[in-house]
Amino acid sequence: MNYRFANRMEGVTGNAIREIFKLLQKPEVISFAGGMPAAESFPVTDIIRITDEVLSQSGSKILQYGDTEGYAPLRDTLVPWLTGKDITATAEDILITSGSQQGIDLTCKAFLNPGDKVLVESPTYLAALQILKTYEADAIPVCTDEEGIDLADLEEKIKKHSPKLLYLIPTFQNPTGKTLPLERRKVVVDLAVQNDIVVIEDDPYRDLRYKGQALPAMKSFDKLGNVVYLASFSKLISPGLRVGCAVAPQEILRKMIIGKQATDVHTSNLSQAIVNQYMKEDRLDPHLIKICADYSVRLNKMNQMLEQYFPSELTFTHPEGGLFIWVMLPEHIDAQQLLQKSIAKNVAFIPGTSFFADGSGKNTMRLNFSNSSEERIETGMKILAQVMKEEMV
């Protein structure tokens, strides 16, 4: 049988991170790869109790087909939650998605024809790059500095490429951990307005802030319908439930709903009902305080290890939240080769090149600190420092 696959599948390989995951099943591997929450942080007991309650009360509704837009009680619950992020939305402005990644996919599905240009931060979330490939769009990298996307380069790339979309993660960016300052957020929205660009504001890490002051979402400056805002409960409650949400102008949201009807009809009602009840019981904020305290200790530990044990030639970011530290090695060091050596010693991370639309960044790496205990961070980082020193001799 000679399969005639679609053009969109050419050159789309599996997500590098998810392939590395499979190598990490061994319990002895200390993994700074992935972007997983700490498994021990999941509110299992609460979720067991809540599941019993919601199914006892509304089992025949939850187990039945639901609305594509989402479980109505959850959409209502999200309205005040979004207000707390300075985002004004009604329930009708919200689409529940099967993880916020589906929000990226559905926005792209609504807008992109083959050859369309999409601006992305360089580096950016690698699954977003994958999604763009499946729409046969051109991802155009925009330079970033220590505070995030570079406005001069953004303006230049807009003029040069007339992009339809700009995808960015303004807060505790994946993979760098950087946060875009207030003034730049406003300018990005202004540039979008002036150039008829839709901004996908992917914001899954915002509530994982360990120090400093929260900044308003770019969506809060969106007066003319230029911003699709994506939130996720994967990092806040549980990724295994697959619940996120999109807040978008009505005209865009209608297209996204049609796109979602055609792909999975609706998100698991049970997952939605669990997230809804968890939030309605006001359990999310205390849970966040707890996990932020844990993650903060882990971030500090990893930071301290980088300063104390690693060669002084490397530089790294100092995020105030999120899940990642980004490390830049000397130009001649290939992080991919480093990974082979560190995996042989049971320590894993993600080589940074996968996050670059243009395949650059061979000398960069992403370190996740949320999913390892302080002890394992100490052990793993010492091994990694040793591997690195040997590589840099």
Residue 244 CA to residue 110 CA, distance in Å, equals 18
The least CB distance from residue 75 to its own copies, in Å, is 14
- Nearer to its own copies (CB atom), residue 147 or residue 264: 264
Q: DSSP readout, 309-357? A: HS-TT-EE---SBSSEEEEE--TT--HHHHHHHHHHTTEE-EEGGGG-T
Give the count of beta carbons closer than 10 Å to the beta carbon of residue 287. 17
| Shortest Å distance, C-beta 304 to its own copies | 27
Q: What is the number of alpha carbons within 13 Å of residue 218 lying toward its C-beta?
A: 34
Q: Indicate if the alpha-carbon torsion angle 338, 167, 87, 93 is positive or negative.
A: negative
Residue 131 engages its own copies in binding (rule: CB under 8 A): yes
Restricting to residues 77-116, name those near its own copies by CB under 8 A. Answer: 98-99, 101-102, 105, 109-113, 116
Residue 168 is inside which H or E element, if any? strand 165-168
**Nearest distance from C-beta of residue 84 to its own copies, angstroms:** 24
> d(Cα 116, Cα 346) in Å, to the nearest integer?
42
Name the residue nearer to its own copies (CB basis): 122 or 267. Answer: 267
Residues 6+ apart with CB under 8 A from 322: 171, 172, 173, 174, 177, 205, 208
Task: Identify the residue among 77, 122, 124, 130 touching its own copies (CB under 8 A).
Answer: 130
> Is residue 160 within the footprint of its own copies (CB under 8 A)?
no
Tracing tokens 């999120």 back to the chain, one arrives at: 322
23 lies in the site for its own copies, by CB under 8 A: no
Compute the radius of gyration of the chain from its Cα atoms.
21
28 binds its own copies (CB under 8 A): no
Give the nearest distance from C-beta 40 to its own copies in angstroms. 6
- Answer yes or no whether residue 64 interacts with its own copies by CB under 8 A: yes
Residues 182-241 that bind its own copies (CB under 8 A): 193, 196, 198, 224-226, 234, 238-241
| Contacts to its own copies from residues 110-129, by CB under 8 A | 110-113, 116, 127
Q: How far is the CB of 386 from its own copies (least distance, A)?
A: 29
242 forms part of the interface with its own copies (CB under 8 A):
yes
Q: Which of 27, 56, 332, 359 binds its own copies (CB under 8 A)?
A: 56
